[in-house]
Amino acid sequence: MPLRHFTIPIFIPMQACPFRCIYCDQVRISGHWDVPESDEVRNTIIKYLKTINTNESIVEVGFFGGTFTGLKLQEQESYLKAIQPFINEGKVKSIRLSTRPDFINQQVIDLLKKNNVGTIELGAQSMDDEVLRKTGRGHTAADVVAAAQLIRSNGMRLGLQMMIGLPGDSQRKAMMTAQRFADLGADDVRIYPTLVIKGTPLERLFHNGKYIPLTLTDAVEIAADLLIFFENHSINVIRVGLHPSDGLLSGESLVAGPFHVSFRELVRTKIWEQLFQPFITAKPASKITFHVPSGELNAAIGYRSVNRKMLATNFHKVVFKSSDKLKGREFYVDYH
């Protein structure tokens, strides 16, 4: 049985970032308000480890929500040192962190490698300079390329984060960004739809009619194309959609945009819907059985059974069966 993978998250919201991207409020998005001290980091790890069988798992600690490498070197080292005892004991394998592409250099890389950081995720968001400028990112696509190449050349795992629906963005630009990610040798990717968060400059643009967010339908369709692309390039898609923090769930932080608590499931449902389209116009039969991979059964049936219901418009009975012999999104059908 393959080992399970766990990431223990440590949030350092809004720390060390000198720019204010027009969409950003990491406190409201993540739901974490306080910056942890080193002791709190240790306590968080201990709490999570009590729920994880470390003999059957690969465990890493991840720093999210801020620009980790923008912290002073002493602060970075203080956080990283707090994790070393768990690595030495074999309970934690490595560390991952997220940062800006313009806050990476060899000195920082050397510090991170010395302290068992195995993965660096870059908040690239887009590889289109117009989108980056309109978003107020403060870096260019060339900065992403340089940082990615430095990370890869030092033998570290490369993660790249992208957003869809930013000002000036389009489906064509999103797919171009995906291709550039593949060209850079990304190991991991996260896909986030742009949301209008309360108190951000993007909220003012939205209320002034100068920004229109993606609809949920459009966001799901774009993300579906991206997910297929990354899978075809053997790139691990860690996340599709934002983590449903309390502020997003309650609506307290969310003004507008394609937020859904099960966004990834909607995307996976959409991919299977596209695969099933030929059967909507096929010759009707009294019963049809779809044999699908075990791990794809729920997605094939669809979020809230939407795909089953769609197929039921053409067949009297629709049955789904899982198979451990099928891989990816392979499937076959039996007509009755």
In CATH terms, the fold of domain 4-260 is TIM Barrel (3.20.20)
- Domain 268-335 homologous superfamily, CATH: Ribonuclease E, catalytic domain (3.40.1260.20)
- Give 128-132's long-range contacts (Cβ < 8 A, gap of 24+): 128/168, 128/169, 128/173, 128/176, 128/177, 130/168, 131/166, 131/167, 131/168, 131/169, 131/173
pLDDT digits (tens, 9 = 90+) for 256-306: 999 999 999 999 999 999 999 999 877 777 899 999 999 999 999 999 999
Residue 122: both structure tokens together: 């870059």
Q: What is the DSSP letter of 125?
A: E
Instruction: Specify the pLDDT at position 244.
Output: 73
> Can you give the residue ranges of every domain in the chain?
4-260, 268-335
Query: Does 250 have pLDDT greater than 80?
Result: no
**214 compared with 54, residue with greater pLDDT:** 214
- 18-52 confidence digits (pLDDT tens): 656 888 765 445 444 567 888 899 999 999 999 99
Q: Note whether 4-260 and 268-335 share their fold.
A: no
Residue among 176, 212, 168, 214 nearest 192 (CA): 214
Query: At residue 251, does pLDDT exceed 90?
Result: no
Tell me phi and psi for residue 116, to 5 degrees. Answer: 65, 30
The closest of 78, 61, 55 to 10, measured between CA atoms, is 61
What mean pLDDT value characterizes the chain?
A: 91
